[in-house]
Chains A and B, each alone.
Chain A
Amino acid sequence: METTAQTTISRRDPAQVMRLSRLGSLHQCRLSFMRVLTRRMARENWSFARPKFDIDAKGVGVAVYTATSPARTYSLIAFAHDLPPEMRSDRVIATAWDATFTLFDGMPTDVDIERLSKNVPYQEAGRVNEKSLSVSRANRSVRLWAHFVDALSQGQQPDPAQVDAVGYLMRTTAVYGSGKLGAADREAIAGRSELNAPFQAEMLSVYLTRVFVRDLVEHMARAKGGEKAVPLAPETARRLGIGNSTGLGMAPYIVNHPVLFNNWIMAREEAIARVRSVETASAEEAACFRRMLRRSELSASRWHSEHPVQLEKLASLHKDLDALAAWVAADDLLNDKPWDRLIRWSETALSLEGQELAASLILEPYAELVDGLSDCMSDANKDAFIINGAMPVAQVRELLQNSFGWALDLDWSARENIARAWYVSEEKLEPRMGERFDEPIAEYEQPLAPARDAAAAHAALAHWDGVEPVAAFLLRHPEHRHTVRRAQMSLVAPYGEIRSNTISDRVLPIDMLRAKLSFFGATHFDPRSDRWVRICMYAGAPYPEDLSTANADLWVYPEANQ
């Protein structure tokens, strides 16, 4: 990690940051992967084109969108389908979609497109090769799509209230990358500067998908209304994001990639520490914060959910925003470490939603302190996997104590503490969570309860001589090998472990989903149950033809006239 900036305030304690309730309250920030991408595309003056838009009046066909960096071209190949309504489902078990996509490495030939047209529409049932960097699919928002096509075809603009209520015309239901379905491995592209930050290929694919969706709805309106039809007003198009439905499949990701997840959290924590260490803010920095706070209020006012947990959190957030506004109004935000004062106050006065929003917002005026940290967010440390067998047993015990001290005394035989089990379903080969005592799943359990496993390893190690190398223990106890590995990873990844029980009867997988999605830059988290969530991506972002360094970054905060 880059350590050039002086920090007098240290990073927050992992014990505070890594509780699931807090991770489930994270908000996007300057380090979010969508913003990293749009900043880069603007800075490097990428060019964009639509070399193919071959779609009929029923909305069936193929389109190609290209994005060209100084070094390379990437192409989104979009297949548009005429999906019978009864087949539309966001669930991962779906087998057909309104549109399917692949991000292609380079410019596809007709032969490539022909090959992909026989595979990409089938998603998991198809195969791609290393020329594909991602594979994804999207479904229409039935309500909003029909309204848009009707309105535009009759020469009318869509009703802004309906736009606000949904926020997107299509939502992706899976964006696969990194080797899935035969696509290129992350390792094959990680060396490219434009794809080095996490999930850049996936974020680019979604960015271009949004352009396609706008073009497609205008195309369908023209097909329906002919000369009467009008294009979508740019300000309405701008407000549209791409929705995303994310299910349980993503939750294990942050447990399965502790070093990577650490790098995300640690980059943000380092950014927060740097900004809190700022002794005095300039008038412009203070003004920037105030502007982003006001725009956050607007964003929060457009954040809808029907889920009781989120409704409660949103109510807290609205209250927090009022309290924040009052605190900010009473302070000049200029002197005596203003951002540190704000954060310390927030910890006494705001809910977790508000605290984490404040922590993200104070980063906004400080591009030069923060943005470089995005280079530290990928995981190139392959050696973290290697167990140091020479480490004395006593030190392994200490590492377990550090990350899981809170879990060692929990009663791990009590039903409520082990009520759930994570497993992979035979049907779709996707992670799921079930009731350990009600369903026959325990023997299929995935290793997604690091706290329970740490307690077990710690107990087993208690009988070993502290000076003995852990290699001898592991030879006799291979069942604790994955736990010892994680314990040693914590040396380089202090924020790698969730400090909550991931199998308790109260666990909310949506907290794990939100933690991950907030780093993508998602907004408007809308849980649809305790296990899947809808979000919005790129709402407010400039389209390629408007993208500039002036608007490439702060688009995530809506402006009053937008």
Chain B
Amino acid sequence: MSYALNEVEATAKRAARGAGYDWGLAEEASKATRWLCAQGLDGSALLAALLEAGYAADLSAHVPQDLQAEWQAKAPLCPLGTGAALSDCAAQLQSAPLVIGPLSQPAMILPFAALAARQLGTCVTIEGDGFQAVTDGAALQCEGVLPETAARLTIRAAGTLSNPYPTRTRAEPEEAAWAVLNRFAHKTYAPATEESRLLGAGAGLSDND
């Protein structure tokens, strides 16, 4: 089924929150998922796979332990927490490339590289074993196959876009992944009670007159 990108964004935000991420990171996850879908990648499937890894329960173990030197942790890095840090530290890319790894779902860090590119006004190149991606913030090109986990990524403020993906205005998420996102999203909904039906929306005076 074809979905509006706003639907993807809204569902992704709820799903990330339902999976245990704080609101600010859930916002990042939703924009990132939308951006991937706009590039023609199945952002929903990538996010679903990431959420099922369950990093949010112990996120501090899955983000860079130190923002100096190489970004790593004892456990695989989460691309949402790490990606947010990448965007926050975009200026660092001007002085030196950033080395990150091991990183789970490296495709999910591409939207954050795009945020860095927008801040720097240059292309950003993300390179790992068997793939290289370049983004100028708006568009993306990618050679090779993005693995489920990247042992080591190098991110630098460099590169040119010679053959970007055509951008999309709709998303066609894989059904199973979309169901996973909705399952996580569901955790953010308060079960209805008769009281909340009446009070929560403020029934008040007659609505049929």
Contact = CB atoms under 8 A, between A and B. Distances in A.
A182 B4 contact: yes
A529 B202 contact: yes
Contact of A385 (B1, B2, B31, B199): B31
A95 interface: no
B86 to A, nearest CB: 9
B7 A179 contact: yes
A72 interface: no
Nearest to B116: A386
Interface in A292-349: 306-307
B12 interface: no
Interface stretch (A54-62, A214-222, A428-436, A516-524): A428-436
A425 B6 contact: no
Contact of A479 (B6, B22, B170): B22
Nearest to B38: A187
A91 interface: yes
Interface string A184-200: 11111000000000000
Contact of A425 (B21, B189, B209): B189
Nearest to A129: B2
A183 B4 contact: yes
Contacts of B202: 247-248, 433, 509, 528-532
B23 A481 contact: yes
B62 to A, nearest CB: 11
Contact of B196 (A388, A439, A478): A439
B196 A482 contact: no
A389 B189 contact: no
Contact of A480 (B24, B91, B204): B24
B201 A186 contact: no
A143 B199 CA distance: 26
Interface in B175-209: 186, 188-193, 195-197, 199-205, 207-209
Interface stretch (A82-90, A107-115, A275-283, A398-406): A82-90
B87 interface: yes
A485 B28 CA distance: 11
Interface in A93-144: 93, 127, 129-130, 139, 141-143
A90 B5 CA distance: 29
B79 interface: no
B6 A484 contact: no
B75 interface: no
Nearest to A527: B204
Interface in A468-488: 469-472, 474-476, 478-485
A92 interface: yes
Q: Which of the listed residues A178, A185, A383, A483 has the most CB atoms from chain B within 10 Å of its own CB?
A: A185
Contact of B207 (A89, A183, A184, A390): A89
Given A447-B23, A481-B22, A483-B24, A142 B209 contact: yes
B195 A426 contact: no
A482 to B, nearest CB: 4
A427 B192 contact: yes
A172 to B, nearest CB: 13
Nearest to A91: B207
B114 to A, nearest CB: 10
B25 A478 contact: yes
Contacts of B64: 475
Given A182-B7, A472-B67, A306 B23 contact: no
Contact of A185 (B6, B63, B89): B6
Nearest to A485: B24
Contact of B88 (A387, A444, A509): A387
A481 B59 CA distance: 14
A187 B169 contact: yes
Given A179-B5, A386-B119, A441 B204 contact: no
Contacts of A471: 67, 85, 88-89
B2 A182 contact: yes
A440 B189 CA distance: 11
Nearest to A526: B205
A386 to B, nearest CB: 5
Interface string B1-32: 11111110000001000000111110110010
Interface string A427-468: 101101111000111001001000000000000000000000
Interface in B52-91: 59-60, 63-64, 67, 81, 84-85, 87-91
Nearest to B189: A426
Given A440-B190, A472-B67, A485-B27, A528 B118 contact: no
Interface in A144-188: 178-180, 182-188
Contacts of B209: 141-143
B115 interface: yes
18 contacts: A91-B207, A182-B2, A389-B85, A389-B87, A389-B88, A426-B190, A427-B192, A432-B200, A434-B190, A471-B85, A475-B67, A476-B60, A481-B27, A483-B24, A484-B24, A528-B207, A529-B203, A530-B202
Given A90-B207, A188-B169, A423-B190, 12 more contacts: A88-B208, A182-B7, A185-B6, A386-B119, A389-B90, A424-B190, A425-B190, A432-B190, A433-B200, A434-B199, A472-B67, A482-B27
Interface of B: 1-7, 14, 21-25, 27-28, 31, 59-60, 63-64, 67, 81, 84-85, 87-91, 115, 118-119, 169-170, 186, 188-193, 195-197, 199-205, 207-209
